[in-house]
Amino acid sequence: MEKINILFVCKYNRFRSKVAEKYFKRINKNSKIKTAGIIEVDRPLDANERKRNIYLKKKFGFVLNAKSVSVSVKSLMWADKIIIVADDISKKIFNNKKWRNKVEVWKIPDENTDNKEKINRIVGKIMKKVDNLVKQLEKEK
């Protein structure tokens, strides 16, 4: 598989995009990955986010940091593929001729919750999408 640059984007860059990054890196070493959010969050994790992250570490081995990075023109230009890991971000935001053809949307809901069932459902959807992405990239090589 040819190495490509993938940018995973969600609303705040604190859950969905980071889970996609962690899982992708676990199953595929042939691409460079960055994550970003539409809205940069400059605050510590709240109680639900802390509990969610403890659960993610125990259940899936994902260690997510609290640092939120916002989408930049530089990151959009860097990416060969931009994946919106969210159902609450309009693709229209990315409607610039320089990168609009790189965008793919995964309709993954956001949940600021420590509810294990909801977390499992969201992480499961992300993992399935990443599995499909890896298969697609392998076919394209």
Contact (Cβ atoms closer than 8 angstroms) between residue 111 and residue 34: no
Q: Where are the domains of the chain?
A: 5-140
Q: Where on the phi/psi map is residue 65: left (φ > 0), alpha (ψ -120 to 50), or beta?
A: beta
Question: What confidence score (pLDDT) does residue 139 get?
Answer: 84
pLDDT in tens, 71-98: 999 999 999 999 999 999 988 889 889 9
Q: How many residues does the chain have?
A: 141
Q: Which residues in the chain show pLDDT less than 50? A: 1
Mean pLDDT across the chain, nearest whole number? 91
Question: What confidence score (pLDDT) does residue 2 get?
Answer: 65
Contact (Cβ atoms closer than 8 angstroms) between residue 41 and residue 117: no
CATH architecture of 5-140: 3-Layer(aba) Sandwich (3.40)
Question: What confidence score (pLDDT) does residue 31 get?
Answer: 87
CA–CA–CA angle 47, 107, 103 (5° rounding): 115
